[in-house]
Structure 1
Amino acid sequence: MYQPLYPARQQYQRLRGVDYRLLRWGQAGAQPLLLLHGWMDSAETFQFMLDAAPATLRNYDVIAPDWRGFGLSSWASEGYYFPDYLADLDTLLGWLAPAGPVALLGHSMGGIVAGLYAGIRPERVGKLISLEGFGLPATQPEQAPARYRRWLDEQAAGASWGSLAGMEEMAARLQKTHAKLDGDQAAWLAAALTARSDEGWRYRADPRHRWVNPVLYRLEEAMACWREVSADTLWLAGDEAKLLSWLGETTEQFALRRACIARLQYQVLPGCGHNLHHDAPALVAQRVADFLAQ
C-alpha cells in the first residue's frame, strides 16, 4: 500500500448545513492554498502531488475539502445545484481567511468552480491555478427539453451505484482510467473512494451526482465571469487534442476561452492526460510552486 510522505491532518467543519471534511498539510496559520478536487474524486487526490512537491509548497497552509456529497463530507438532503459549490467555497474562505486574498487550485470540476469564483469574487483570489478546469462543452437552448426529461426520469428512478466486488475492483477501475497510477497508488486511492455497505462495497460519493444537471451550461455566462478575474492565473493542460475533442471546439474557439483571462499563463504538459496531478505529480507540483513564487 502507498505510504504518504507527508500525511494530512483531518478536520471537520459545518458549512451551510453540510459537514465538510478537510485535509490539511503544510504550516497552520500560513497563507492559505486551497486545493479543489474534481467530480468523483476526494481530497486525497492531491496527496501524490504534495508528496512530490518542493518544500516551498508546504510552507503554505494547504487545505483540500471534500465537496458536499463526495469523500467523507456529508450528503446534501436536497440534491446538488452547481452554485452551491460556489457558496460553499465562499463560506469556507470566510471561515479560513476572512481578510485578504488566497491562492486557489482546482482540478476539473474544482477548477471550474475556482475559475468562476475568481471572477465573481476577484478580491478574494490572489493566485488562480486550473488543472484542466476551465469550462464544459457549450450547449444550445434546443437541448433543454431533452435534458429536463432525462432529469425528471432520473428523479423518478432514484439513484444507486450498485455494489463493487471490493476495493480491488475500484483500484482496477482507477488504473484503467488513469494508466500512470501504479498499483500501490491505485489501491491507496481506492480505499479513500470506497466504503462498505450492506451489499458489500460502494463508492463513497452520493450516487445522485450521476444525475444530469437540468440547467444547461451556458458558456457565455462563464466567459463573462472569467473576464472579471484579476488574479494571476496558471492553466495547466494535458493532451490538448483530447481536450479540444471533448469540448467540440477548434483551436480558434479554444483560444477565445483563454483570451477571457487577462493575466493568463497557459502551459501544456506533454505526456499527460486529464489527471495531470496523477500523471506527472512532481512536474505539476514544481510548476505550481514556481508560479506561486512569482
Structure 2
Amino acid sequence: MQESYLDVRGLQLCLCSWGPVDGDLILCIHGVLEHGAAWEEIARPLASMGYRVVAPDQRGHGRSQHVGMGGSYQLIDYLGDLDAIAFGTADLNAKALTDQPFILVGHSMGAVVAATFASVRPEKVKSLVLLEPVLPGEQKDDQTAQQIATHLDYLASPPQHQVFTDIQAAANRLRRLTPNLSEELALKHAQRLTEPCEGGVRWRWDPRLQIRTGIGLSGTAFNRDKYTQLLRQIKAPTTLVYGNNSNFNRAEDLALQQAAIPHAKTVKLSGGHNLHVDAPDAIVAIIANNRLKLKN
C-alpha cells in the first residue's frame, strides 16, 4: 500500500493506493470512523488483477486533515472531496486520478456518498457497488429543536477521545467492535489510526465525527425522501450488498433501497455490517465480475 497526500481546497487528504497507476480505477469510500486502509484485504487482490485501487481517508478520518471548528462534515463536503479526488479541481491543487468513468465502491456512510455521487455525476461512474448502504435518519417535526440543541452543545464542548495505554489496547478495542478482524490486521489498523498523546495513544480521527449532527446525513437539509429520489436517478449498473447478520438495516429499509434502484442486483453475504472484513473474497469477486460484464 502506498500513501500520498492531495490538497483539496486547502485541506490535506491522505490517499491509500494499490496497483499500477495506469490500471482501470476503482475508488473505494469508507464509512464513519473508518479509514482508507480498511479496504486493504479487498484492494490487494484487485491490484494483482491489474486494477488501480484508491481509497481516501475521508476528511477528518485516518491521516487526513481535520477541518477545524469553522469547518463541517456535511454530505456536500464529502461529495466535493470525492469529485476533486477523482477529477481534479479548477485551481489544479488536486490532480485528476482519471479522465475516464470508474468503478465506485462505498461502505455504510461511504455508500451514501458513493450513491449520491453516482446520481449527480452519472457520466463519471461506470459501475457502482454499495456495501451495507444505510438510509438517512427519519426526523419528526418535534425533533428539530432537540437536534439543534444537541449541535449547539457539541459546538460549546467538543467531545474528547478516550486515551488508550498503548497501541495494543487500541487494537483490542477494534477487535471487540469487529470480532472477525484478525489480531494482525487489528494491530496494523491501530498503528495507523492512533497518535501519541499524554498517557498513551488516542484515535487520529476528529472526535467531532462522533456527533451525528456534525455528519449531516439526517435533518431537514437532506432527509430520507430526498435521498431516495437521488437513488432513483442512478443510471450505472449497481450492486447492493448486505450482510445476513447485520443489524444496520431494517427489512423496510432494504425494501426501500431496492425499490429506489430497481435495476440493481442484490447480494446477501455471510457476515455483519463490516463486510470488507467479514467477506473480502466475495466482494472482490463481485467487483471483478461486474468489470468483466462491462467489458463484454
TM-score (norm. length: structure 1): 0.89
Gaps of 5+ in 1: 1-7
Corresponding residue of 1:103? 103
Residue 54 of structure 1 deviates from its aligned partner by 8.2
Corresponding residue of 1:292? 291
3-state SS of the aligned residue for 1:29?
coil
2-structure distance, mates of 1:244, 1:134: 7
Corresponding residue of 1:18? 11
Cα root mean square deviation, aligned = 1.9
Corresponding residue of 1:189? 189
1-structure distance, mates of 2:212, 2:239: 30
Residue 225 of structure 1 deviates from its aligned partner by 0.8
Gaps of 5+ in 2: 89-95
- 1:91 maps to a residue whose letter is A
Residue 126 of structure 1 deviates from its aligned partner by 1.0
1:266-281 alignment, distance < 5 Å = 266-270=266-270, 272-281=271-280
2-structure distance, mates of 1:98, 1:44: 21
1:148-167 alignment, distance < 5 Å = 148-167=148-167
2-structure distance, mates of 1:33, 1:291: 12
Judge conservation of contact 2:61–2:206 (CA < 8 Å) in 1: yes
Deviates more, 1:90-99 or 1:78-87: 90-99
1:67 to 58, 71, 91: 58
Percent identity reads: 28
* 2:48 is the alignment partner of 1:35: no
Residue 200 of structure 1 deviates from its aligned partner by 2.1
Judge conservation of contact 1:229–1:261 (CA < 8 Å) in 2: yes
Residue 158 of structure 1 deviates from its aligned partner by 2.1
Matched length = 279
Structure with more contact order per residue of length (Cα contacts < 8 Å, sep ≥ 6)? 1
3-state SS of the aligned residue for 1:159?
coil
1:1-294 alignment, distance < 5 Å = 8-53=1-46, 55-56=48-49, 59-77=50-68, 78-95=71-88, 96-97=96-97, 99-213=99-213, 216=219, 217-239=222-244, 242-245=247-250, 250-251=251-252, 254-270=254-270, 272-294=271-293
TM-score (norm. length: structure 2): 0.88
Residue 209 of structure 1 deviates from its aligned partner by 0.9
1-structure distance, mates of 2:84, 2:163: 34
- 1:155 maps to a residue whose letter is L
Residue 274 of structure 1 deviates from its aligned partner by 0.3
